[in-house]
Structure 1
Amino acid sequence: MRTPHLTAWSSPSLSTMFRLRIAAGPRRLAVHRGVSSAAKESVTLEKQGQIGIVRLNDPNRLNALTADMGDRVEELVQEIKDRADEFRAIVLTGEGRAFSAGGDLDFLQKRASDTTSRNTVTMRKFYGRFLSLRSLPVPLIAALNGPAIGAGMCISLFADARVVAKDAKLGFTFVHLGLHPGMACTHYLPLLVGAERANHLLLSGKVISGQEAFELGLATKVVSKEDVVAEAVKLAEEMTSGSSIATRSLLQTLRLKQDQGLDMALHREASSQAVCYATPDYREGVDAIASKRKPVFGPLEHYK
């Protein structure tokens, strides 16, 4: 099995936290649709009362994001929609010691050998699989139980609120891979922390702690790693304590406003990432991740 990496979509130097467990054993929901049995296990759905828990479930690879995992997310989103009367809110978290280490290394390596036009299409499809979370009819709470890096951190921005582990390592580290940021972070991050702070986080690729994320306005609550999911469930219950029809209609109103301009941002991200994939800097960044070393980028060659 490939040794997991925190890609930029992640970072090769981060040490990750302890495995998170929940004492109470929630009921797992069986879903039978079109993805493979392996893909079904990559993301799971549990139920605690009327709160659903969607768990990224590839802990041996730090829940690195793959196309199959995205297909499974889409499948579970549809399952929740089909059973919408059973859920008041959804909590999204990661199994094991990480929330998500970002994009899968094999996926990233393949991008360097594909064409710019195909990569643009590939990335739009890849974003869309995970962005299906925005179509959930109930509030989505991200429970960041450990490292969330690159695209792994980006998907937490799709949530309506975030609970973070105090010592979790979080970052939008794309530039250290020689890659333009993607997965809608250039759209959602400025909405959450303001343009200036978003500029700093994205351009520097700085990795911050959960405590710093809370202070920047990236999270509603910061707690110990052992309490992340439990606190996210409490927050979900608090955010859905009113009328269900009022809550769901308000959620649609808020998201309609927040998602204005999203399509333009996604187009720009996908096309810019596709340009980066064809460059020596990107190949150096991916090789550095695979070799667990710091990248050495060359001089600027050409950019329009």
Structure 2
Amino acid sequence: MVDLSEIEPGIVLLQMQDRIHKNAFTDDMTLALLNAFDTIAHHDRYKVVVLTGFDSYFSTGGDQASLLRLHEGRGHFATTNLYSLALNCRIPVISAMQGHGIGGGFVIGLFADVVILSRESVYTTNFMRYGFTPGMGATYIVPLKLGTALGHEMLFLARNYRGEELKQRGAPFTVLPRAEVLPEAMKMSRQLAEKPRVSLMTLKDHLVADQRRKLPDIIRSEVAMHEQTFHQDEVKQNILSLFGK
């Protein structure tokens, strides 16, 4: 499900590899990610985390079963802090999105400190494709990281974008051929691992302080919007008919 290993001194590789569900946020994947970041928090020698997926998938976001539960009013996405794991991690996180990032699967990668995309892969905030408003902090982090115009377009249209297109549209990320994404992330992680851990944590706390402060209110607003938009019959039908297509 999730492989966590210190592959070089101070460098932790966190690889999502649920090949059956394409790294969707099933209950098992969610628990595995929560446990992995908890493990990272309790090791004082770690300096940087590289978060990645497998083959052509980074993460496909919420699975159909969890979306149907939300439609039925059984819980909400903020029950766990899955969306903010990278943001709240004390040490820098590099999201090596070598594969497709769909919905919350794209958003969770954007909360990392450094983002690397692949030219070939599809990235989308597809919430509105099903008819419900975005969650997982998407309404905040997508415009923040990609710019207001492109971010709002992605959130409203909910269409697919290749990494190469996002680069051409001004996305301020490193965008490379898929095979080069993880090697570039490792190169960056080695540069970070050269620095003192205390200095890395202190700088991260400073750089993301505003995001950490604002995010709880954003999440509350998104949950409130879901109360208005998620329970429509049309949304259920879209989840049943469009999921995975």
TM-score calculated relative to the size of structure 1: 0.75
Partner of 1:48: 7
Partner of 2:21: 61
Q: Residue 124 in 1 paired to residue 78 in 2?
A: yes
Partner of 2:184: 231
Q: Distance in 2 between matches of 1:52 and 1:214?
A: 27
Change (3 A) 1:220 1:240: farther
Q: Contact 2:116–2:174 (CA<8 Å) still a contact in 1?
A: yes
Q: Residue 107 in 1 paired to residue 69 in 2?
A: no
Partner of 1:33: none
Matches within 5 A, 1:104-253: 104-114=63-73, 118-119=74-75, 122-126=76-80, 128-216=81-169, 218=171, 220-253=173-206
Identical aligned pairs, as a percentage? 23
Structure 1: gaps (5+ residues): 1-41, 293-304
Q: Distance in 1 between matches of 2:127 and 2:202?
A: 35
Q: Contact 2:11–2:193 (CA<8 Å) still a contact in 1?
A: no
Structure 2: gaps (5+ residues): none
Matches within 5 A, 1:262-273: 262-273=215-226
Q: Distance in 1 between matches of 2:82 and 2:154?
A: 25
Q: Secondary structure at the match of 2:191?
A: helix
CA offsets per residue over residues 145-165 of structure 1, 9 Å max, x none? 111111111101110011111
TM-score calculated relative to the size of structure 2: 0.91
Q: Contact 2:128–2:157 (CA<8 Å) still a contact in 1?
A: yes
Offset of residue 94 of structure 1: 0.9
CA offsets per residue over residues 39-76 of structure 1, 9 Å max, x none? xxx22202220211111121222111123322221211
Q: Secondary structure at the match of 1:154?
A: helix
Partner of 1:26: none
Offset of residue 220 of structure 1: 2.9
Q: Kindly tell me the number of residue pairs found equivalent between the two proteins.
A: 244
Aligned-CA RMSD value: 1.9
Letter in 2 for 1:125: T
